[in-house]
Amino acid sequence: MIKIAVVGAGRMANAHTSTLRDHFSADCELYSVYDPVEKVAKEFAERYKMKKICSSLAEVANDKAVDAVLVCNYSDQHYDTLTELLNAGKKYIFCEKALVRELKDGEELLKKAEKAGAVITVGHHRRYIAGYKKLKQLVESGELGRIRMAKVALSHPAYTRQWGEFFSDFGRSGGVTLDMMTHMFDQLNWYFGDAESVSAESLMFDASQPLPVDFVAGTLRYKNGVICSIECSWQRYGVGYDKVELYGDKACAIFENGEKVDVYRPGEHTEIFTKTEGGAHKGQMANFIATIKDGTKPGCSLLDGFKSAEVSLKMIEAAEKHKVVKL
């Protein structure tokens, strides 16, 4: 039985822990939790019937009974958290996205994890959504022809954060470019390989706004020649959308985060219906458990997580400097 500890008891910790409880109770024991807010940790432990509430990260790291750790605290805390866990000998870690707030921290984590022989999975759950998997199959099969361009658009129209919170603090969260677009950059990297350059303009939570709103619009070029336009927003009203379009020499494929992929050819439209059985988080946790039990390769590895964060951080640099930035 795999004993699992949780660091950070917020929204994503609840998503992952409830998934483990509901679907993987035969494989794992929800053993302990640490959150700096004692009341939050206590309620979390009661909700999931955990045996232990830890008073510090060090207590989690040094507990020999713990086999694996879910790291679900804030992204600017990931480097220190992962470093402490790795130094204490923890070998199986799931870390939420974005992997890091600073590029140098990601580079250091790659070295530390390799030296420690640890397996770190990064929480880019969209790899487990059937429609995104179908897009990857269409790209790899050549059915669309050579891919020339992609369009990505993501809008959250009911943003309610206030000034002073983590998710409206650009210095800590990296705004929509790091916190949200890192998901989409992971998808594009998964399809097209390594990025070559980025350019962008962004609000970056301009403090002159009465209430925090963020928006980024940019261009991403891949080493294989694919050009991607991207836009993403946290806005307080309007229309929401979540869309990826891939255009090849033979056809284009469009997925709007539903249950079908639309493929268009001259004079022809095909609908490919897809379904994510059990939800993306179930697939993600199934993979994490398999990395421990069977040595399965992480669906999204530490290197994958670093590369998506790298694109986000370089895009922030491009927006700050108003210039094209190479990766």
Tens of pLDDT, residues 197-224: 999 999 999 999 999 999 999 999 999 9
Report the CATH number that the domain containing residue 97 is assigned in CATH.
3.40.50.720
With beta carbons less than 8 A apart as the criterion, state whether 129 and 257 touch.
yes
**Domain shared by 149 and 81, yes or no:** no
pLDDT at 170: 96
pLDDT at 118: 98
**Domain shared by 293 and 245, yes or no:** no
pLDDT in tens, 144-175: 999 999 999 999 999 999 999 999 999 999 99
Number of structural domains, the chain? 2
Taking residues 175-203, report their average pLDDT: 97
**Domain shared by 57 and 143, yes or no:** no
pLDDT at 62: 98
Percent pLDDT > 70 in the chain is 100
**Domain shared by 189 and 290, yes or no:** no
Tell me the average pLDDT of the chain: 97
pLDDT at 281: 96
**Domain shared by 80 and 154, yes or no:** no
**Domain shared by 274 and 193, yes or no:** yes
Banded pLDDT at 178 (limits 50, 70, 90): very high
Q: Which H/E stretch holds residue 32?
A: strand 28-34
**Domain shared by 77 and 108, yes or no:** yes
How buried is residue 29: exposed, middle or buried, by Cβ count under 10 Å (0-12/13-18/19+)?
Answer: middle
**Domain shared by 78 and 167, yes or no:** no
**Domain shared by 175 and 319, yes or no:** yes
Q: CA angle 227-230-232, nearest 5°? A: 170
3-state helix, strand, coil in the chain (%, to 5): 40, 30, 35
**Domain shared by 121 and 131, yes or no:** no
pLDDT at 282: 97
Taking residues 225-252, report their average pLDDT: 97
Banded pLDDT at 133 (limits 50, 70, 90): very high
Taking residues 21-43, report their average pLDDT: 97
**Domain shared by 64 and 87, yes or no:** yes
Nearest to 129 by CA among 63, 190, 71: 190
Banded pLDDT at 294 (limits 50, 70, 90): very high
Taking residues 30-54, report their average pLDDT: 98
**Domain shared by 168 and 270, yes or no:** yes
pLDDT at 32: 98
Containing domain of residue 322, as a range?
A: 127-278+309-326
pLDDT at 293: 96
Banded pLDDT at 91 (limits 50, 70, 90): very high
Taking residues 219-246, report their average pLDDT: 97
pTM of the model: 0.96
Report the CATH number that the domain containing residue 235 is assigned in CATH.
3.30.360.10
